[in-house]
Structure formats: structure tokens, C-alpha cells
Amino acid sequence: MPRALVTGGAGFLGSHLCDRLLKDGMEVIAMDNLITGSTDNIAHNIDNPNFRFIHYNVVDYLYVDGALDYIFHLASPASPVDFPTKPIQILKVNALGTHKALGLARAKGARFFLASTSEVYGDPLVHPQPEEYLGNVNPVGVRGVYDEAKRFAEAITMAYHRFHQLPVRIVRIFNTYGPRMRLDDGRVVPNFIGQALRGDPITVYGTGLQTRSFCYESDLIEGFVRLMLSEHTGPINIGNPTERTMLEFAEEIKRLTGSSSPIVLEPLHTSDDPKQRKPVITKATELLGWEPKVSLEEGLGLTIAYFKKRLGL
């Protein structure tokens, strides 16, 4: 039975990945310090003999008993609300934590998978973004702690690949949403849905003309598995190219929730908020045979149903 370690395994994406790997017949170890994750996300697996949870900070020396075939390194706060409140933890987990996870992969002869991000493109001057675009990142801005840390994580992953011949895979994740995001996560999907369901004002930051392209979690996880099992190092963009302005997106959430919340404009919460973001997914399509299957309307429907339940509605 193949054995996988998922760092950040109690988070939104990590917990869905654990479910998928268990379903595919793997033994799974989830490691998480719960800084932004929750054991609620993995509670349903706790009696599964093929699943184990280790409460641990991956910045510290990593030790895991027995063989490991795959290491999926997802540990990192990911919401822009964490950038000013957890800046050092973000830098450390992506720099020191990635180093430790790579060291463990090398010691175990495991294949290493890095969850990188579209944020490596910064506030992009090329649109949509292909993997070849080198980005426009402000290293000293509030978002720099995340963007630069992920860029470092990509660099050290490639160094282990080139210098130590470690098999590695790098995915650049574009905005992904779905059940198990925290209501107070601060990212736009839980914010808008929570506000719409409570009847509170829907807060659009800045002009609302900035764009994002939203991918449903199950599509993303399918892309992860295909990339890990492929022979391609990447980086490969995985995301859904369906692009919306934040004003359009607020209207869409209002319609799908049947909410009468007003839409209000607020100043941008972080400087360097990317003005446009949309993945070029030709590499994922051609190399992995991957494409998103879940429409925005369908995915938002599933996510709204989840948040309704969390709010007791």
C-alpha cells in the first residue's frame, strides 16, 4: 500500500487531498499544527486504520516512522488576512518547513509535491498567466511574505531536484474554493457567502474591477493527483480560467443565495492586490489530460449548502 504524508493535512485543501488519497487506496499521514486548520476537517477519518494525524509544526525537525512514497507539502496559511497577522509563520513554514519536508523526502526516497501559488506571479503584467511568466512581485509589500516565501519554496524544491536528483512536482494553484473553508477565513468566497447568508453588507474591496478565476476543490485535487503520478516536474498551473470581476462575483453570490444584502465598496485590505488573475492551463490540459469539470454555479451551490449548515440555516 503506497504511503503518503500530507503537511497541512487538516486544512481546507489538505483534508480533501487526504480523503482522495485514502479513497485511492493509500495509507495517509496528515501533519498539521492547526494554525489555520481544524481537526473538524479530518474527524471523519480518525477511525480509519489507514489514516493518522500528527499535531506538529513542520518548521521543526521532521521525523516519520517507516517508508514514505509521497510527500505533499501544503502547510502554509493562505489567506491574505494572515499576511499581516502571521507574517513570520508564513515565511518560516514556506522556507524552513519546505527545507525540512524536502530533507524528509530525500531520506525516505519519496516523491515531493509543492503546493505553490498564482501569487508567485504577483500583480501580473501579463494576462492570462502562463507558467513562463516570471511575475511582478513587491518583496517589501504586505503580500511579500507569502509571495516571496512561495518563490523561495519553488527555488529550494528545484535545487533539491537538480542537486540531489529528488523527484519533485510543483503546482501553482489559482484561487480554489469549496466546503471546509473557514467562515472567518477572510478570503473572498467565504466572506461573500457568509455575508450574503447573514444578510450583512457584501464587502467588495477597491474598485471591484479586479478579477479572479475560481476553481472548485475536487477539480484541483484531481489535478494534484494527476501531476504527482505524472512524469512532469512542473511548475504547472491548476485553476479554472472562468474569470470574474469582484463586483460581478458579489452579484453572482447574491443571486445564488437569494440574499438581499447590499453590495458595498471598501478600501483595499492589502496593497499590491493583483488587478487580474487567470491561469493559462494548456500545460495541465496537454501534459496531464486535466481540465476543470465543475462549473462556478455548481461549485458555489455546493459551497453555499456547506456554509448554510455551518451557520445552522
Alpha helices, DSSP H, located in 1-114? 12-23, 82-85, 87-92, 98-108
Peptide bond into 128 cis (omega under 30): yes
Contacts of 140 (CB under 8 A, 6+ apart): none
User: Binding of ligand UDP at residue 223 (CB under 6 A)?
Assistant: no
Of 169, 136, 156, 142, the closest CA to residue 93 belongs to: 156
User: Binding of ligand NAD at residue 74 (CB under 6 A)?
Assistant: yes
Phi/psi region, residue 53 (left: phi>0; alpha: psi -120 to 50; beta: rest), is beta
- Minimum distance of ligand UDP from residue 280's CB (angstroms): 17
> What span, in angstroms and rounded, lies between the C-alpha atoms of 153 and 181?
24
> The cell 502554509 sits on which residue?
76
Angle of CA points 143, 144, 150, to nearest 5°? 105
User: Binding of ligand UDP at residue 252 (CB under 6 A)?
Assistant: no
14 binds, among ligand UDP, ligand NAD, none (CB under 5 to 8 A by kind): ligand NAD
- Minimum distance of ligand UDP from residue 275's CB (angstroms): 8
**Amino acid, res. 287:** L
> What span, in angstroms and rounded, lies between the C-alpha atoms of 93 and 87?
10
Q: Single out the residue of 41, 157, 175, 237 in contact with ligand UDP (rule: CB under 6 A).
A: 175
User: Binding of ligand UDP at residue 172 (CB under 6 A)?
Assistant: no
The residues with which 3 forms a beta bridge, in sequence order, are 27
- Which one, 265 or 287, has the nearer CB to ligand UDP? 265
Whether 146 is a known active-site residue: answer: yes
- Which one, 1 or 88, has the nearer CB to ligand NAD? 88
User: Binding of ligand NAD at residue 303 (CB under 6 A)?
Assistant: no
User: Binding of ligand UDP at residue 212 (CB under 6 A)?
Assistant: yes
User: Binding of ligand UDP at residue 191 (CB under 6 A)?
Assistant: yes
Query: Considering only residues 65-94, where is the footprint of ligand UDP by CB under 6 A?
Result: 79-80
- Interface residues toward ligand UDP, by CB under 6 A: 79-80, 175, 187-188, 191, 203-206, 210, 212, 246, 268, 273
- Interface residues toward ligand NAD, by CB under 6 A: 7-8, 10-14, 32-37, 57-59, 74-78, 93, 97, 115, 117, 173, 175-176
